[in-house]
Amino acid sequence: MVALGSHVRFRGARWQVVALSGQHLHLAGEDGGDQAVLAGFLFADPDFAILDADAPAQRVPQWGLFETAPPAAREKALAWQRHVREVDCGLPDGPASSKPVRPPYDPARFTLAEREKAKAEELTAAGFGRISRTTVQRMRLAYRKQGLWGLVDHRSTRSPSITGRTDERVVAAVRDVLQRRRGRDTGAGTGSLGTHGTSTLT
């Protein structure tokens, strides 16, 4: 039985089932691509096989979380998705795309490191900021592990702190003072009660 997290063979490639929606299965490929297929279409494929139905659920990318990110963060993540796909397989729309491969990203001519370097230079020139090859590599690996959620700038998804933007050292110092004050108050109260208690007993 195909379950969430299962690995399957489909159209000659290995995929992981990352989401189930009615009769549709969302598949993530090892090359960074993804697609949604009808269950019947998947099962009818001559190459179909379940490779490891008991794959641990924690390895499934967190698809639902992507919708909780702010619109601007989602838009940027979708832009990154095209770039990391192009680095991985040469095509921004994934392996199923019919578009020609751009020369700097042809896997048959350039190594992965060379394609990452070319993408870093392209993004820097396009105004993404100073993007390094390491950054492209990190985003590519994050996408492979977590899907679109891995491409989201998580600074935009953090819950606001109750202390706002106050320096953490100041917050720590105030908490320390309050804890010591509580300790003294508790100690004083205990001593006073003990004295009165002794007086009453004698």
Q: Does residue 165 have a pLDDT over 60?
A: no
Q: For residues 31 and 17, which has the higher predicted lDDT (pLDDT)? A: 17
CA 53 – CA 66 distance, rounded (Å): 25
* Mean pLDDT within 3-30: 77
Element (H, E) at 23: none
Beta bridge partners of 21: 24
Could you tell me what percent of the chain has a pLDDT over 70?
64
Residue type, 179: Q
Residue in 131, 142, 156 with CA at minimum distance from that of residue 72: 156
CA 108 – CA 89 distance, rounded (Å): 10
Q: What is the pLDDT of residue 135?
A: 96
Express each pLDDT in 115-136 by its tens digit: 999 999 999 999 988 999 999 9
Express each pLDDT in 21-60 by its tens digit: 667 777 887 666 777 888 888 888 888 888 864 444 334 4
User: Given its phi and psi angles, is residue 47 left (phi above 0), alpha (psi -120 to 50 degrees) or beta?
Assistant: alpha
Residue type, 108: A
Q: What is the pLDDT of residue 118?
A: 97
Q: What is the pLDDT of residue 161?
A: 44
Q: For residues 96 and 133, which has the higher predicted lDDT (pLDDT)? A: 133
Domain boundaries, the chain: 7-59, 63-156
Q: Are 38 and 124 in contact (CB under 8 A)?
A: no
Q: What is the pLDDT of residue 49?
A: 86
Q: Are 53 and 6 in contact (CB under 8 A)?
A: yes
Q: What is the pLDDT of residue 200?
A: 41
Q: Does residue 9 have a pLDDT over 80?
A: yes
* Mean pLDDT within 91-113: 87
φ/ψ of 41, rounded to 5, equals -70, -40
φ/ψ of 62, rounded to 5, equals -90, 75
3-state secondary structure 52-108: ECCCCHHHCCCHHHHCCCCHHHHHHHHHHHHHHHHHHHCCCCCCCCCCCCCHHHCCC
Task: Residue 65: count other Cβ atoms within 10 Å of its Cβ.
Answer: 14
CA 9 – CA 63 distance, rounded (Å): 21
CA 53 – CA 5 distance, rounded (Å): 7
* Mean pLDDT within 98-112: 91
Compute the half-sphere exposure of residue 75: CA atoms within 13 Å on the CB side of its CA.
3
pTM over 0.85: no
Element (H, E) at 25: strand 24-29
